[in-house]
A and B are shown apart, each in its own frame.
Chain A
Amino acid sequence: MGKKVFVNKANITLEGPLTVERAKELHLLLVERLDGMPEQAGGAAIDLCRVDDIDACGCQLLALFLENLKRRGAAPMLTAAPAAVRERIVTLGFGELLALQPEP
């Protein structure tokens, strides 16, 4: 099977629950997105506006994704996280790892 090509290489939108039940599927998706990222990608926005739930496994996966992006020279940023998702990320102690900006 050929490699997927993503039209919008800088912005990544995730949706649905980011939980352990979907960990494998999300992992595949994020690996594909990572492979599709150009070298020295610059800014990469990860849009969480369509995410409705997240758990520790999901937070860890996001954190790993972000670290891998950084290794490729990107400056990733999580954006538009719904309040409940943001609160859960903070509760679980991933606020710093996910570089969650204070709410405006």
Chain B
Amino acid sequence: MTTPRGENETVDLNRFNQVFFEECAENLAEMEQILISLGDREPDPEQMNAIFRAAHSIKGGAGIFGFNDMTVVTHVMESLLDRLRNQEIPFAPGMIDLFLEAGDAIAMQLAGHREGKAVDQEVIDGVRARLQQAIDAGAGAPAPGLPADQEEGPPQQEAEQLPRRCRLAFTPDPEIFTRGIRMESIVAELAELAEPGEFHCNAQLMELPELAEADPERCLTRWEFTLLTRASLEQILDVFMFVADEEQLQIEEDEPVDRRTPEGEPAPEQGIVPAAGRRVYDSNETAPGAFGRRGNETEASFRVNVTKVDQLVNQVGELLITQAMLSQIAVGLDPILHETLQRGLVQLERNTRDLQGSVMSIRLVPISIVFNRFPRLVRDIAAKLGKQVELKTAGDSTELDRGLIEKIADPLGHLVRNALDHGLETPETRAACGKSPTGTLQLSASQVGGRIVIDVIDDGAGLNRDKILAKALECGIPCSEAMTDEEVWQLIFAPGFSTASEVTDLSGRGVGMDVVMKNVQAIGGRVQIASEAGKGARFTISLPLTLAILEGLSVAVGEEKFIIPLNVVIESLQPKPEQLKSVNGRDVVLVRGEYLPILKLHRIFNLEAEVTEPQRGILVLTEADGERGAILVDALLDEQQVVVKSIETNYRRVDGSAGATILGDGRVALILDLPELFTMHKKL
């Protein structure tokens, strides 16, 4: 019989599970990164220890949180790694692949718990069996790097690490029981580190309240452990990684028990070591050691729930609106009579902008989060295709909005797969063309103005103009020989377009590039292509720095207000009659020798406007994605920062808009998407 937990408790548990999931994903990523960097080389002791620690942490956390299935693969993997690092069995190049597969299996289990995805038990069993085989096969082989006379003796490391007695006092967080942490797993893990028969655990009650007054779910127990162990302090601390912080765990270590030490020497002093533990479940998230920080990270960073950051961004957004509203009111006030107020408002504006900058920077994360996924992808695909590829990355520390990071990963992955599948040639073909047999794929990121630019560059064959045109014709996509190269390259973004003569499971499925474009456009980005036959291709994704707030020019059309992103505005003007012309029935304006199309917002959005003729209104000259146009508006209202709200979430998609915002007077204004407006204008 069980009593269902209250909703709050379930939420709490999920929250703490979430911390484990994130830690687990980080450990998997760290492990993969090291493994990939190795190629087929044997890891050095430091790398081996890092891989071991990652596997061990996953196993420990999984056990503590009750995800027992995740301990199965990690346990065997840990055993293999332990034997390898102790040089009990020799390293074999195939082990890197095996560890990568094991990482994949654990990731699958993680996704099963985290997102409810299906877990293929056969895969798990297969990996576990192969890891065990590697242990069994290695057990019979001679230990590497050891002189013959040492092969029978104890491992070097073990011989050096003499057992010592450790006493631990653990005073857990009072909420430990309701956080789904299994004390029995912690105890069992700690016992594993002890020499046989040398582990003792004793629980003590710190308080003895009247039973009726006690909170049965609150932990009143303190544990004391005594063990004789060869484990390092780090290994011991790892056991408490998810549960204890430095105040909650005290470790007292004796000097190692070394029977070879000459008698009569002074007894070694005992030292109390404050545990540099990690506190995942701390109510004070800013406390040192809180939320899974590692050693040198203690003061550098801490985890914050994304919802909290989003809430903060929204609140700053509301503050910006209020500030804009106050500024609007102040415009009508006598500057002499209200000098102090005006000064205060200027100060408020400055502070609000600083606050906004600081808050937005919290949302920024380095693009390396995405780039780090690709070494593995490139390695696997290159091996599958029989190609030799060197992956280079640049600008890994370039920061962009967290929301964008999540959304750019898939399109970028597709471009990488595409470059490997279609762009880079086989070693033979490359050699025949006088190129190095190893192709280069470069991912680079940089901040250019208010945008982030990500390049995917390969030194492969480049795009084939004739093949693309022929395929476009075959697919019924409008095209002609007269098209420029740039226009031809854009054809590959048409739905259903693929020039791959063979459909592969990598990128030649006829879907993808259109999805890439759609996904990038959905986050306010653009994709440009440059290609040179035989030399390679460059796909450039340009993204806004953030999706949350933008500088905009508010304009009026009839009763409606629109926001034009300031980064596309060149200038505004009241055209003279001689500047206005009609070309092919379309209104254009002549500006410094260039004819620009006039986009009439009232026509595009079907509104009643006060001004319908360009000579009576104002033209805002804009440039986006290399295209220029003049937007006809009734009046320019203000230049302001606006908080971008999703119109699709709150209403429905409106063509020609990149979102909406709430203005100082509480009204909703559409934020214009210029490239889309240019396209809509051409179709009118």
Main SS of the interface on chain B?
A: mixed
Least distance between A1 CB and chain B CB atoms (Å): 16
- By beta carbon, the residue of chain B nearest A61 is B216
Partner of B221, one of A22, A23, A26, A56: A56
Binds B, one of A2-10, A39-47, A75-83, A88-96: A88-96
* Contact-residue bracket for chain A: 20 to 34
Chain A residues within 8 Å of B220, by CB: 60, 64
Cross-chain contact of B205 among A22, A30, A34, A67 (Cβ < 8 A): A67
A22 adjacent to B2 (CB under 8 Å): yes
Q: How far is the CA of A16 from the CA of B2 in the complex (A)?
A: 8
Residues of A within 8 A of B221 (CB): 56, 59-60, 63
A99, CB-defined interface residue at 8 Å: no
A 27-50 contacts with B by CB, 8 A: 27, 30-31, 34-35
Q: B191-212 interface mask toward A, CB cutoff 8 Å, 1 = contact, 0 = none? A: 1000000000111110011111
With known contacts A34-B211, A64-B208, A92-B183, A26–B201 Cβ distance under 8 A: no
Q: How large is the interface on B (under 10, 10 to 19, 20 to 34, 35 or more residues)?
A: 20 to 34
Once A23-B177, A55-B183, A57-B217 are accepted as A-B contacts, the answer to whether A63 and B205 lie under 8 Å apart by CB is yes
Residues of A with C-beta under 8 A to B3: 21-22, 24-25
Docked CA distance A91–B184 (Å): 7
With A and B bound together, what is the CA distance between A94 and B184 in angstroms? 11
**Hey, which chain B residues are within 8 Å of A20, CB to CB?**
177-178, 217
How many whole Å from B178's CB to the nearest CB in chain A? 7
* Main secondary structure on A side of the interface with B: helix
Quick check: is B1 within 8 A (CB to CB) of the other chain?
Answer: yes
Does B187 contact A93, Cβ atoms closer than 8 Å? yes
Q: Is B214 an interface residue (CB 8 A)?
A: yes
Closest CB in chain B relative to A77 CB, distance in Å:
18
Contact A21–B205 (Cβ < 8 Å)? no
Residue on A nearest B176 in the bound complex, by CB = A56
Q: By the criterion CB–CB under 8 Å, are A97 and B204 in contact? A: yes
Q: How far is the CA of A30 from the CA of B212 in the complex (A)?
A: 9
| Residues of chain A lying within 8 A (CB to CB) of residue B204 | 97
Interface membership of B683, Cβ < 8 A: no
User: Given A24-B217, A92-B183, are A68 and B1 also a contact pair (CB < 8 Å)?
Assistant: no
Q: Which residue of A lies closest to B5 (CB)?
A: A21
Which chain B residues in 476-522 approach chain A with CB under 8 Å? none
Contact check, A93 vs B201: say whether CB atoms are below 8 A apart. Answer: yes
B157-183 to A contact mask, C-beta < 8 Å, 1/0 = 000000000000000000001100011
Q: When A31-B211, A64-B208, A92-B184 are in contact, do A24 and B216 touch as well, CB less than 8 Å? A: yes
Report how far A63 CA is from B209 CA in the complex, Å: 11
Inter-chain contact A96/B202, CB cutoff 8 Å: yes
Question: For the complex, what is the distance from the CA of A93 to the CA of B182, rounded to whole Å?
Answer: 14
Residues of B contacting A92 in the complex (Cβ-Cβ under 8 angstroms): 183-184, 187, 201, 203
A39 CB to nearest chain B CB (Å): 15
Q: Give the B-binding residues of A (Cβ under 8 A).
A: 16-17, 20-27, 30-31, 34-35, 55-57, 59-61, 63-65, 67-68, 88, 91-94, 96-97
Given contacts A56-B182, A97-B204, could you give 13 more A-B pairs where the C-beta distance is less than 8 Å?
A: A16-B2, A20-B178, A21-B2, A22-B2, A22-B3, A24-B217, A55-B182, A57-B217, A60-B219, A60-B220, A61-B216, A93-B223, A97-B205
